[in-house]
Amino acid sequence: MVFTLALRNLLHDRVRLAVTLIGILFSIVLVAVQLGLYLGSSEMITANIARSNADLFITTYGAKSFEDGGILLSDRERHQALATPGVEAVVPLVVAFAEWRKPSGGSSRVVLIGADADDHGLVPWSLTQGTLDDIKAPDAIAVDRTYLNELGVKGIGDTAQVAEGRVKIRALTEGIRSFTQSPYAYTTLNRARQLLGVGDDKSTFLLVKLAPGANVAKVQKDLAKRLDSADVLTKQQFENRSLTQWLFRTGAGLALIGGAILGSLVGTVIVAQTLYSSTKDHIHEFATLRALGSSKAYIHKVILAQAGLSAVMGYILGMTIAMIILYASKNSSLPLVMTPGLAFWLFALTLFMCAISALSAIVKVTKIDPATVFAR
Amino acid sequence: MTNSPVLHADNIVKELGSGAGLVVAVKGASLDLVPGELTLLMGPSGSGKTTLLSILGCIMKPTSGSLFIADEKIDGLSAESLAKVRRDHIGFIFQSYNLFPTLNALENVRIALDVRGVKGFAATSRSEEVLREVGLGHRLTSYPGNLSGGEQQRVAVARAIASSPSIVLADEPTAALDSENGHAVMSLLSRIAKEQNRSVLAVTHDPRTLGYADRVVRIEDGKIVGEERRPEGINAPEITDLTKRRKLHA
């Protein structure tokens, strides 16, 4: 009967129910979009690090992110690393911003990534046209399909100028987005060095692959001792550092998280307001229940059930709209991400939000004097 | 046959307000309710009858005096303990019926069982049973808005007796009803008292109800000023004549 009464109370005033559901819906959509953007951004920021085949990253000292390494490491550091016990392989990687001059005029910026596929360090992971072998060609470059317009090219075979040399698009990827909005452009290690005009032994990162059974922490410590002008980071540490740089030092992540918190607060206030006014409208019924001998807990259950039902209905509606927005953002340069974990936490947040909202109504009914049943 | 009282109130006093606004609504009322009797508590407006009913129904706490229900001392109990006493022993009927507009007749009765922990099939079948008892077997799924005043009050009666309480308290049960429905409800309350051996106390100032009373308690200005009892062997409708030759007891 608790759920029956709660549901009937909700359905009794359809306008108020609609306001409640719209409040929850907007809140869920806002939080889902903000957190979806946060997850999407995080994925973009860490994608290249996460996909690299490395146990440890050697970066120039103080490198803040994947795009901010400089090209300062040399064969000296590489050999020092190779000489460290427990290290099996050290793969150089060049990463730098470069100017991309469009064939039709004008320019934009790309993040040029130079790595050799045969080194198994980092390769573009979602080729939809062309192969890794195609990227080995002297002038070859691979870019993501999403950015073709921005780069002023149509597809495979088109040429452009990157920094100091000409390149031809030989492969296309799908879904490798850049948080900086400067598209990633993949080429070979030496071609990247030539385009950027740096020496043959220079690199931005050294990807360290450990020998089987080697202790990661110990090797990391040994490498750090040997390479005093470099940072030695695990993948996770480098991912965290990149996330901190782009999401928190720039304020973007705080804005997204702030938006999510604001969305929750707005939803909570709207639901609290409507639940409170619903409780006020049904106060004589709650007083009757009390006069009939119901415990306070029973009445609290009715109010919490109203809040819970509102949460479930609002969540379903909100998630439906959030999924539509998510689908619409699929091919954009900043796609939203929804994971089962996020969907679960959003549901938990909705329930929590509605439970908190029910507090003012619960306080109201707690003060009910059952004697008011005789006053009607 | 003398029944022992299921409710015993002794020297109940109730003060309302404070300071200059202090009003003594009930001034030392004592009363027993025994099973099998329909008692009317009659008095003019403002005489304290509803306040006394609230105290007897464990809804309001007396300022002083003692109240026993089923031999349990009630004074001093917490609000939650009083609610338990109401659940275990008391059924209420209100002047404005106080039905839940969003629940149908069956659900209105079921909820009174639900708060007492009776659920599922047992609650549904008991609710149907009492609604049939009050002549509403054909209106189980009707909502209060679609029921007449008399039907609504009969749903309220069914709700009050569904949990088989030993005491049924009714506040002006006929005030909102026409003559025919008023008699039907009083007849029902009388039957509940007699056939189900319950104590029924109805607060009223409706003279039409007198014919159904086994006992009439008069209250004026917060004091019980008299009590009259129907003599053995006189059927219910004849008691109305007794009002003309009532014997008041100080």
Query: What is the per-residue DSSP string for chain B?
Result: -PPPPSEEEEEEEEEES-GGG-EEEEEEEEEEE-TT-EEEEE--TTSSHHHHHHHHTTSS--SEEEEEETTEE-TT--HHHHHHHHHHHEEEE-TT----TTS-HHHHHHHHHHTTT--HHHHHHHHHHHHHHTT-TT-TT--GGGS-HHHHHHHHHHHHHTT--SEEEEESTTTTS-HHHHHHHHHHHHHHHHHTT-EEEEEE--GGGGGG-SEEEEEETTEEEEEEEPPTT--GGGHHHHGGG-----
Locate the chain A residue with the closest alpha carbon to B100. A285
Size of interface A-B (CB pairs under 8 A): 81
- How far is Cα B113 from Cα B101, in angstroms, rounded to an integer? 17
Task: Give the residue carrying structure tokens 């609604």.
Answer: B131
Positions in chain B short of pLDDT 50: 1, 237-250
What is the pTM (predicted TM-score) of this model?
0.76
Compute the mean pLDDT over every residue in chain A, rounded to the nearest whole number.
88
**In chain B, what residues touch A373 (CB-CB under 8 Å)?**
59, 92, 94, 98
Judge whether B176 and B204 are in contact, CB under 8 Å.
no
Q: Which pLDDT belongs to residue B123? A: 93
- How far is Cα A58 from Cα A166, in angstroms, rounded to an integer? 30
Q: What percent of chain A has pLDDT over 70?
A: 99
Locate the chain A residue with the closest alpha carbon to B116. A294
Which pLDDT tens digit goes with each residue over A63-120?
888 888 787 788 888 998 999 999 999 999 999 999 999 888 888 999 999 988 888 8
Put simply, whether A373 touches B (Cβ < 8 Å) is yes
Q: Which pLDDT belongs to residue A238? A: 92
Q: Which pLDDT belongs to residue B236? A: 53
Window 228-287 of A: residues touching B by CB (8 A cutoff) are 284-285
**In chain B, what residues touch A296 (CB-CB under 8 Å)?**
79-80, 83
Window 101-160 of A: residues touching B by CB (8 A cutoff) are none
Test B100 with A288 for CB contact under 8 angstroms: yes
Query: Please, is B16 exposed, middle or buried when counting C-beta atoms within 10 Å of its C-beta (0-12, 13-18, 19+)?
Result: middle
Confidence of residue A261 (pLDDT cuts 50, 70, 90): confident
Confidence of residue A248 (pLDDT cuts 50, 70, 90): confident
Locate the chain B residue with the closest alpha carbon to A302. B115
N-term to C-term CA, chain B: 25
Of A1, A9, A284, the CB nearest to B110: A1
pLDDT over 60 at A205, yes or no: yes
Q: Which pLDDT belongs to residue A341? A: 92
Put simply, whether B61 touches A (Cβ < 8 Å) is no
Residue of B56, B58, B93, B102 to mutate, interface with A, max A Cβ within 10 Å: B102
Buried b (16+ CB within 10 A) or exposed e, B231-243: eeeeebeebeebe
| Nearby residues of A15 by Cβ (< 8 Å), 6 or more positions away | none
Q: Which pLDDT belongs to residue A329? A: 86
Q: Report which of residues A343 and A73 the model is more confident about.
A: A343
Which pLDDT tens digit goes with each residue over A311-339?
899 999 999 999 999 898 887 777 888 89
